[in-house]
Structure 1
């Protein structure tokens, strides 16, 4: 059982979001709709997770003192909640894939990006983005899917699932994992054949903020996505890269989230999935995401960027540019990011 249950990942996260959206009348202007969903079927789960792993989750639920993995907990009713969450994610992808919506945002918990095919961790049991990607391939024949993680913690489970899949591009932008959970997701990790170059990890130095993220997106992520030409982008939308987050040391603000969401939504079909974020502004940031998806701005950024920059370590920008240069070097054989590509994505070098 997680020490201090219910811990930071608990039902109050969704309560804060729904309360904020209701108070600010986000469903009242006809531009944003709420869709109902059904629980995921077991076949949806088993496209990603093994039967043995699913059975172990069920066993843990029946034995309340048994945890399925580090920093994860289950209780009576958890399996139904997991299926409801996966079903909501599938519905969010379905309405975009069928053309009912341009973009969508699945407000679900628990998060999923640390869960592998046979493993849990970091509050994650089932990998929602992987379940959605496999659903889209199965139900719509979607050829190219990009999964982009902006949670402060590396999307290690998602990358492990798709590390050898040449039809799924996985990008994770997260705090430097050298001394930070999950302690993997390094720049050198680029996938395996036949999908070399399709796993991309950026180690953001502590106190990286809006400017560093904007540079990274402009110089690498946009170029990779334009080159890959995804049919749909699944965004693992973690709010723990926010400057108020107690569990990480990154400095995105409202403007930073607006920029990322607006940029993606202006170019691709986007399905956002709620991942981490354990601070008081999670409701407001969810509204920021919806505004970004709808191409409007209603929430001002009240952070003084000059003060924020002045308060951080002087080495942050230098470390960021060193890591950015290293990432460009590692990816340059596979992607058009400044010089001719030496080989096709998926090939060995």
Structure 2
């Protein structure tokens, strides 16, 4: 088995309510798309049922008081915030989403799969240590990383977040952590939730220079994203030499997404994933886990996920040939200059 897809029908039970963008149909569309392209339960792609995270796993990342609050709000069906409602089963399903991430990481690190895509709901990258929001309750990717660090002694984890919204929770959790290089490509924080992710947010303490933010102006698309990957992501991989890659895979930077103003093509998700897989092959035997975050146009979401899985299977996708000089790239390089020469 080369690729594991972590999935449970129980994820469809997470229903924030009528009209909410983070709806069960998102995952149904992805599964339907993967099946249509014969990327579901084949000789090389296995679908794996996740197990729920334990409370001790969640406590690796979140404050105990916050965990208790999520459980209580779920029982009372009271929202975390205006965008993040809680239902009777929210706490249980948030544990299962975090567990899906851990399941994916364990499979890859133990050699059960070369790479994995955790098709989990609810998403996680906006969940901070002591509060949630932005459709997120627990930070799935951070919980997976902390669990893997304990169980497999990982020393250098590269997190790439290409969701259109900045992963403020993931950044906050690892802000002073020198073992995690967090790089985010997102719509400019002055134009989109959560309002964080400026180039000068580079970490603190031992984590300085290991938090990398590339905010994209509305209207940015393939050319701009590839410039950031070529000029920042690949050189950082060369210098950091990761022993594991984790990707917050949001599909809401697509030009059809109703919540954002970015213009990525569908094929862009193929070469974004290909770039990760190529670097993972180079530095850590291909060890890479993708975790589902956002993406709210169903067709774009499904097609983007298909491209990612095709790249995980080894298919190569060519980035745009056009070149551009982006002011933000120079700003990022300047902000990181003390730590890295890019």
Q: TM-score under structure 2 normalisation? A: 0.89
Confirm or deny that 1:247 pairs with 2:252.
no
Out of 315, 336, 340, which is 1:335 matched to? 340
Q: Does 1:127 align with 2:127?
A: no
Q: For residue 275 of structure 1, what is the aligned residue in structure 2?
A: 293
Whole-angstrom CA distance in 2 between matches of 1:163 and 1:327: 16
2-structure distance, mates of 1:185, 1:141: 29
- 1:9 and 2:58 equivalent? no
Provide the residue aligned with 1:347 in structure 2.
none
Inter-partner Cα distance in structure 2 for 1:162 and 1:267 = 22
- Write the deviation string for residues 102-123 of structure 1: whole angstroms up to 9, x where unpaired: 1110000111110001011110
Matched, 1:59 2:72: yes
Q: Is the 8 A contact 1:111 1:124 kept in 2?
A: yes
Q: How does 1:1-349 map to 2 (within 5 A)?
A: 5-27=18-40, 29-64=42-77, 66-268=78-280, 269-281=287-299, 282-296=301-315, 321-337=326-342
Which one is further off, 213-222 or 26-35?
26-35
How far apart, CA to CA, are the structure 1 residues paired with 2:143 and 2:174?
11
The RMSD of aligned alpha carbons is 2.2
The structure with the largest alpha-carbon Rg is: 1
Q: Which runs of 5+ in 1 are unaligned?
A: 310-316, 338-349
Q: CA deviation at 1:28?
A: 5.0
Q: 1:143: how far off?
A: 0.9
Aligned length: 321
Greater shift, 128-137 or 74-83, is seen at: 74-83
Q: 1:3 Cα deviation (Å)?
A: 9.5
Which has the larger displacement, 39-48 or 320-329?
Answer: 320-329
Asked whether the 8 Å contact 2:16–2:22 carries over to 1, the reply is no
Tell me whether 15-24 or 194-203 shows the greater mean CA deviation.
Answer: 15-24
CA–CA distance in structure 1, aligned partners of residues 271 and 35 of structure 2: 24
Runs of 4+ in 1 over 6 A off after TM superposition: none
Cα displacement (A) at 1:27: 2.6
How far did residue 323 of structure 1 move? 1.2
Q: 1:87-141: CA deviations, max 9, x gaps? A: 1110111111112221110000111110001011110110001001101011111
**Secondary structure of 1:153's match?**
coil
Residues 242-266 of structure 1: per-residue CA shift (max 9 Å, x gap): 1110100111112211111011102
Q: In the aligned structure 1, how far is the partner of 2:38 from the partner of 2:313? A: 15
Note the residue ranges of structure 2 that are not aligned, 5 or more in a row: 1-14, 281-286
TM-score, normalised on structure 1?
0.87
In 2, Cα distance between the equivalents of 1:233 and 1:256?
A: 19
